[in-house]
Homo-oligomer: A and B are copies of this chain.
Amino acid sequence: MSHLYRHLRVHQIFGANTDVGKTVIAAALVRASTLTNHNTFYLKPVSTGPPQHADDVHVQRYAGPHRHLLNTQCLFRYEDPVSPHLAVRMASQRSGVESSAPSDETFVNAIAEHIRACARPGFPGHMYVETAGGVHSPTLSGTTQLESYRPLFLPTVLVGDPKLGGISSTISSYESLVLRGYIVDAILLFRDDYYRNYEYLFPYFAERGVHVASLDPPPPLQGNLNEDISATEAYYANLAPRSLDGEIFHALRHLDECHVHRIKELDSMPRRTLDSIWWPFVQHGLVKSEKDVTVIDSAWADFFSVYDSSSEPSACSLLAPKLDGSASWWTQAVGHAHPSLALAAANAAGRYGHVMFPHATHLPALKLAERLVHEGPGVGWASRAFFTDNGSTGMEVALKMALRSFSINDKELTPRDKKDLWIIGLKGSYHGDTIGAMDATEEGVYTCEWHQSKGFWFEPPTVAIQNGNFVVSVPSPISPSTSSVHFDDLHSVYDIQNRLHSPLADIYRTHVRNTLQALRRKGERKLAALVLEPIVMGAGGMIFVDPLFQRVLVDAVRDKSLFENPLPVVFDEVFVGLYRLGMKSFGPLLGVNPDIAVYAKILTGGVLPLSVTLASERVFQAFNSPSKVDALLHGHSYTAHAVGCQVANTTLDMIEMLSQQDPWRLAREKWSCGARRESAAVWSFWDPGFVRSVSRLAVVHEAMTLGTVLVIKFKDDGAGYASHTAQNLLRSIESPVCESGALSAAPGGAPFGIHYRTLGNVAYFMTSLNTSLQTIEEIENRLWKTLSATIKEA
């Protein structure tokens, strides 16, 4: 991940093209750095071409009078003067040995290790990491450089192109850098007095806040080695003179200022945050100091890059990787800062911006609606997609749909009755923070002054692994006699078709029917809809509900003997949908489809908010009339914003690809129970052995997992002791652990802490849909060690 050291300023040098003078400008910077008495490091990770003409040789040769302060390094050297990805292949062909290119991971880790080795506290230094070719030239593995260097997130010096066409390649290269989030500190280029690109680029980039400097070009080579060397020596002596005057020293001081400014800004951010920001779901009265503020400088894949000023005076980077253990509030699909999603966002912003949606259509929204309705979770039941901005507003729309869809069939309802329509739900439900969505849940700590709980809430049976066994726990209101039922494996629990004929199903049916009949007899309120989070209730405490109970509920509200008209069924899939639990949606598993379902979070790949509410034709028709006032009069200004829709489409494309690839196949196999392949829908990215073992630990009440989600519920002895233990032991996994010699799964291999969130005495961990097996195993190992240690203490 990112590297930032107080005493070592590191810049990567990218070129707007090949042959624009990267090495000459790097050499000039190196010389200027040594002349200003800095320990200077020049790293050329990949060198292609004849060794005697290698860039590090050039830089070393012309380093000037203070060359003793210089350390040069090359990590991968190839002889052919071609793009690195071809050089690897040609070297392999020449040697006759089949040798593969180093992976992106190996590549980044090698650079990261070198940088770490150069950072020593108290020795002010400058480091230049010179890339090869242009910004998008392929590196050894074939990945383009911009991408392969991205995990290191080094600030950039872009060497501009002074030639004809160079304005274009400089700006385009800059945009490709910006698109990957890079900080571009300066653009340096040679002065060409005919094309005068610098004249154009100077104001262009001044407007964009980027420093541009032009430098004298090197003298043309004459072919006489000695003359060329002395001409070049004179050139450098003039460019970076002992007097410390001139453009290169301006540039040097500018880079120093950028470095100092960046650290200063990071240092200031906790204080400034505490002075201006009101966090969601945070009691600011419990925020004691600036140390309680997590400063996120950037993110990549499953890791935040977090600023930790306390790492001084050790030689550690001020920015350290921290695993995003809650998938950033359950939103991440393919990891942070994926360039495909950034490009998708940019494309829609550049083509449409936002265009108003009523009576209109545009491709990103239309394609998203079609794939959700006709191919995605809506297949087989949905007819329409309604867009809003987040899960909570998506649920508000779902509620409006459900209430209308019910009330249109009951002509005797008074306006007063309509205000008091009740929904049926489960204790522990949570449908978002807006007041209407909150009214669709019980009163509790999250509800505000205006809250009025509008429904009846069943206490649900739950699924978990207890002491290594799959157990459905039945609360006593449902059955005083049957408190738990054991199952052989995960698939048996989720094999609803089979379980419909079990004694437990009858117990559920009886309980549900009796309860509903009793409610109807009381007759205070009309029951108007069933609203469920299928399989897992998230914010309520990551409660894995027995799916059989949810199925029985759906059957009940559609049972003519109970309800004259079937009640509309709403599936709140905001959190659980779109493969968060390893399944696209839940109709196939439960054997019943909803009338309304809501999607958000993962939908937009963890980039920006968007929600879609799907509805059946019956629900849609409830609003259809010749009168405008009967319409669904709900619509946010940015409804179906093109940027969100385009990012969602790209995300869904990527998920489809992932679902076909090895990691998913392997995870599914781990959880499959031999013969029953057809029910392989139920699986997890987490290791079955690990989860069962955790469930057997003394401090653990139960554990459970599906898809990306791992939940550990700690024992709570009433005094809250156990949950206190849990908090304590989990706190230790927030800090990085350095295993001597071993590189971590974080890009660059630095030790990483784990950022996680708890819900009461429940700890949960959540991956993206493409989190590497190595990362998951490291989390499992960290958890296991921490929990085992607790047991020994206890």
* Contact between A165 and B637, CB atoms less than 8 A apart: no
Q: A339 vs B85: C-alpha distance in the bound complex, in angstroms?
A: 33
- In the complex formed, the residue of B with least CB distance to A333 is B353
Cα A227 to Cα B228 in complex, Å, equals: 39
Please give, as numbers and ranges, the residues of chain B lying within 8 Å of A419 by CB-CB distance.
449-452
List the one stretch of A58-66, A504-512, A558-566, A626-634 in contact with chain B: A626-634
Contacts of A600 in B (CB 8 A): 637
Of residues 469 through 527 on chain A, the ones whose CB sits less than 8 Å from some CB of chain B are: none
Q: In the bound complex, how far is the Cα of B359 from the Cα of A270, in angstroms? A: 10
A276 pairs with B641, CB closer than 8 A: no
- A693 → chain B, closest Cβ, in Å? 29
Contact B178 A346 (CB under 8 A): yes
Residues of B within 8 A of A315 (CB): none
Q: Which of B272, B350, B374 contacts A342 (CB 8 A)?
A: B350
Tell me if B450 and A637 are in contact (CB < 8 A): no
Q: Name the residue among A85, A170, A294, A354 with the largest chain B CB count within 10 angstroms.
A: A354
Say yes or no: A362 contacts B296, CB within 8 Å: yes
Min C-beta distance of A462 to chain B, whole Å: 24
Question: Which of chain B's residues has its CB closest to A443's CB?
Answer: B415
**When the two chains form their complex, are residues B195 and A83 in contact, meaning their CB atoms are under 8 A apart?**
yes
**A634 pairs with B433, CB closer than 8 A:** yes
- In the complex, the answer to whether B278 meets A615 with C-beta atoms within 8 Å is yes
- Interface residue from B138, B437, B451 paired with A200 (Cβ < 8 Å): B138
Q: Smallest CB-CB separation from A142: which chain B residue?
A: B200
A607 to B355, CA, bound (A): 8
CA distance A299 to B336 in the complex (A): 29
Cβ-neighbour of A607 out of B15, B634, B641 (below 8 A): B641
Which of the residues B17, B269, B281 comes within 8 Å of A169, measured between beta carbons? Answer: B17
The CA of A341 and the CA of B19, in the complex, are separated in Å by 32
Query: What are the residues of chain B within 8 A of A281 when measuring CB–CB?
Result: 358, 631-635
Complex contact A389–B386 (CB within 8 A)? no
Partner among B180, B373, B436 whose Cβ is within 8 Å of the Cβ of A276: B373
Question: Chain A, 417-457, contact with B by CB distance < 8 Å: what is the 0/1 string?
Answer: 01101000000000011111101000001101111101000
Instruction: Verify if A365 is at the interface (C-beta below 8 Å from B).
Output: yes
- Interface residues as binary, A686-716 with B (CB distance below 8 Å gives 1, 0 otherwise): 0000000000000000000000000000000
Which residues of A (699-747) have their CB < 8 Å from a CB of B? none
Cross-chain contact A433 with B165 (CB below 8 angstroms): no
A357 on interface, CB distance cutoff 8 Å: yes
Contact with B along A367-393 (1 / 0, CB 8 A): 001100110000000011111011111
Q: Give the number of copies in the complex.
A: 2
Point out the residue from B276, B284, B341 that lies within 8 Å of A374, measured CB to CB: B276
A136 partner, pick from B171, B196, B359, B637, beta carbons under 8 A: B171
The interface residues of chain B lying within 8 Å CB-to-CB of A670 are none
B residues in contact with A284, CB < 8 Å: 620, 623-624, 631
Report yes or no: B626 in contact with A280, Cβ–Cβ below 8 A: no
If A283-B628, A294-B360, A608-B644 touch, does A175 touch B169 (CB 8 Å cutoff)? Answer: no
Which B residues touch A365, using CB under 8 A? 277
Q: Mark the stretch among A69-77, A102-110, A246-254, A323-331 that contacts chain B.
A: A323-331
Nearest-Cβ distance from residue A259 to partner chain B, whole angstroms? 16
Q: Determine how close the nearest CB of chain B comes to the CB of A572; give it in whole angstroms.
A: 13
Inter-chain contacts of A412 with B (CB < 8 A): none
Is A293 touching B359 in the complex (CB atoms < 8 A)? Answer: yes
Does A683 make an interface contact (CB < 8 A)? no
CB distance from A437 to the nearest CB of B (A): 8
Residues of B contacting A118 with CB < 8 Å?
A: none
A353 touches which one: B176, B338, B630 (CB < 8 A)?
B338
Residue of B nearest to A600 (CB): B637
Q: Which of B328, B358, B403 contacts A354 (CB 8 A)?
A: B328
Using A328-B354, A636-B280 as known contacts, say yes or no to A18 and B433 having CB atoms under 8 A apart: no
A363 to B390, CA, bound (A): 23
Assuming the A-B contacts A345-B346, A448-B403, are A635 and B171 also in contact, with contact meaning beta carbons closer than 8 angstroms in the complex? no
B639 lies within 8 A of A608 (CB) = no
Q: Name A292's closest neighbour in chain B (CB-CB).
A: B359
Q: How far is the CA of A361 from the CA of B336 in the complex (A)?
A: 16
| Closest chain B residue to A353, Cβ basis | B336
Report, as a range, how many residues of chain A touch the other chain.
Answer: 35 or more
Least CB distance, A393 to chain B, in whole angstroms:
6
Knowing A272-B366, A284-B620, A390-B389, the reply to whether A336 touches B355 (Cβ < 8 A) is yes
> Given A280-B639, A332-B353, A436-B450, are A287 and B346 also a contact pair (CB < 8 Å)?
no
- Contact check, B164 vs A133: say whether CB atoms are below 8 A apart: yes
- By a CB distance below 8 angstroms, the chain B residues around A85 are 200
Which of A83, A136, A335 has the most chain B CB atoms inside 10 A of its CB? A136
| Docked pose: A779 CA to B373 CA in angstroms | 40
Asked if A595 CB lies within 8 Å of chain B CBs, one says: no
Please judge, given known A-B contacts A434-B393, A625-B285, whether A133 and B345 are in contact too, CB under 8 Å. Answer: no
Does A217 belong to the interface (CB within 8 Å)? no
| A667 contacts the other chain (CB 8 A) | no
Cross-chain contact B358 with A279 (CB below 8 angstroms): yes
Contact A179 B278 (CB under 8 A): no
A33 at the interface (CB under 8 A from B): no
State the CA gap A329–B356 with chains docked (Å).
6
B299 touches A355 (CB 8 A): yes
Q: A179-B347, A353-B336, A361-B273 are in contact. Are A435 and B435 (CB under 8 A)?
A: yes
- Inter-chain CA distance A477–B137, complex, in Å, is 74
Interface 0/1 of A192-220, CB less than 8 Å to B: 00111000100000000000000000000
Tell me, yes or no, whether A399 is within 8 Å of chain B by CB.
yes
A292–chain B nearest beta-carbon distance, Å: 6
CA distance A418 to B443 in the complex (A): 13
A609: CB under 8 A from chain B?
yes
Q: Are A369 and B329 in contact (CB under 8 A)?
A: no
Known: A299-B355, A342-B350. A399 touches B637 (CB 8 A): no
Query: A608 touching B641 by the CB < 8 A rule?
Result: yes
Residue A458, interface by CB 8 Å: no
Question: Please, which residues of chain B bring their CB within 8 A of the CB of A627?
Answer: 283, 285
Among A18, A164, A175, A386, the most chain B Cβ lie within 10 Å of the Cβ of: A175
Give 22 CB contacts A-B under 8 Å: A17-B168, A86-B196, A134-B168, A136-B167, A272-B370, A273-B361, A277-B366, A278-B620, A279-B635, A280-B387, A293-B360, A294-B360, A295-B362, A329-B635, A329-B637, A331-B356, A336-B355, A339-B350, A353-B605, A354-B606, A400-B448, A434-B435
Known: A137-B167, A389-B393. 19 other contacts (CB 8 A): A82-B194, A83-B200, A136-B168, A175-B176, A179-B347, A277-B366, A277-B385, A280-B386, A280-B636, A281-B634, A283-B627, A284-B623, A293-B360, A304-B355, A331-B354, A390-B638, A433-B636, A446-B633, A609-B638
Q: What 8 A-B pairs have minimum CB-CB distances, sorted nearest first?
A: A280-B635, A181-B351, A134-B168, A435-B436, A18-B165, A181-B350, A346-B346, A342-B349
